[in-house]
Amino acid sequence: MFNVMFDTIFFASYGNFYGLSNITISSFDILLAYIVTIVAAVACALILRLPLLPSKPYRYSYDVSAIYPTPIIAIGILSIFLVLNYTFMYNGLVLAVIIGVLSALFVKYLFDFVFPKPLDENTGEDINE
C-alpha cells in the first residue's frame, strides 16, 4: 500500500501535463501542500461554526462537519491542480490555503444544494432535520 502511495506522489512530482520536466516540485512539497490544505480546511470550517463531528449515530448521519467531508473535498481539488502541475506560488502552499478556505465555504453554504440529503422512507421528509 505504501508503495502505491509513493508511486502516486512521485508521478505527480516527476513531470507535468505538458512534459516540461524543468517545472517540478518535490514529493515533500506535495505532502506539505496536502497537510496545509487539510489544516486550512478544518480551521476555516471551525471558524464558520461547522461542528467538529456529525451528530450521533455517526454511521447513519448525513450532517456535514469539519472532519468530513471538508478536508476530503479540499484534498481532491488540490490533487486535480497538482496533476495538471498548476502550483501557483510557493510550491503550491498558497494554492493549498485558498483551496482549503474555498472548500470550507462550499461545505458550509452549498453542499446541501449540490448533494441533497436522502428522503426518509417512512415520513417522506429529509433525514436528520
Going by the DSSP 8-state scheme, the letter that residue 51 receives in this structure is -
Kindly report the backbone phi and psi dihedral angles of residue 100, in degrees, each rounded to the nearest multiple of 5, phi listed first: -60, -45
Kindly provide the b/e burial profile for residues 7-32, where b requires at least 16 CB atoms within 10 angstroms of the residue's own CB. eebeebbeebeeeeeeeebeeebbeb
* Residue 9: per-residue pLDDT: 61
Residue 85 and residue 110 in contact, taking contact as beta carbons nearer than 8 Å: no
CA distance 88 to 36: 15
* Residue 44: per-residue pLDDT: 97
CA distance 100 to 124: 35
Per-residue pLDDT reduced to its tens digit, 58-67? 777 778 899 9
As given in the structure block, the three cell numbers for residue 59 are 454511521
Q: Which of 9-23, 62-76, 95-109 shows the lowest per-residue confidence on average (mean pLDDT)?
A: 9-23
Residue spans per domain, the chain = 2-114
Per-residue pLDDT reduced to its tens digit, 2-54? 566 566 666 655 555 444 444 567 888 889 999 999 999 999 999 999 999 88
Per-residue pLDDT reduced to its tens digit, 113-122? 998 887 766 6
pTM exceeding the 0.85 threshold for the entire prediction: no
In terms of residues, how long is the chain?
129
CA distance 34 to 96: 7
As given in the structure block, the three cell numbers for residue 112 are 446541501
